[in-house]
Amino acid sequence: AQSVTQLDSQVPVFEEAPVELRCNYSSSVSVYLFWYVQYPNQGLQLLLKYLSGSTLVKGINGFEAEFNKSQTSFHLRKPSVHISDTAEYFCAVSLGGFQGAQKLVFGQGTRLTINP
């Protein structure tokens, strides 16, 4: 079975500072990896995903993540955050395969707070 661990439940940072949200997963087979974001009073929105190929994945709003197979990690980074990045971020994995990356296993979420 797969599992996902987001090491930080809350991350406060100052505006324009860099940020890294950590995500580790466990799986005995290859997985697809995702980061979702939930802004206040909104649904989950896909930030980026890793399916195969380049281990550095770029997403929306200036975010990127790097897949590290040896460390089973998929940390999310942004070089300079804005107030509007305040949200909860979720790392997720799925088995993918022929039926598609449809059934997600989520981490506990990391609440990112940007301070002016």
Partner 1 sequence: EAGVTQFPSHSVIEKGQTVTLRCDPISGHDNLYWYRRVMGKEIKFLLHFVKESKQDESGMPNNRFLAERTGGTYSTLKVQPAELEDSGVYFCASSQPLGGQGLSETGELFFGEGSRLTVL
Whether the CB-CB separation of 94 and 35 falls below 8 Å is answered with: no
Closest to partner 1 by CB, 7 vs 104, is: 104
Instruction: Give the interface segment with partner 1, choosing from 14-22, 53-61, 76-84, 102-110 (CB under 8 A).
Output: 102-110
Scan for tokens 């799986």, then name that residue.
27
Q: How many helices (H) and strands (E) does the chain have?
A: 0, 12
Whether the CB-CB separation of 42 and 24 falls below 8 Å is answered with: no
In the region spanning residues 42 to 61, those forming contacts with partner 1, defined by CB under 8 A, are 42-46, 49, 51
Closest to partner 1 by CB, 8 vs 106, is: 106
- Rounded distance, CA 87 to CA 114, Å? 9
Minimum distance between the CB of residue 52 and partner 1, rounded to whole angstroms? 10
Residues near partner 1 (CB under 8 A): 4, 32, 36, 41-46, 49, 51, 90, 94, 96, 99-109
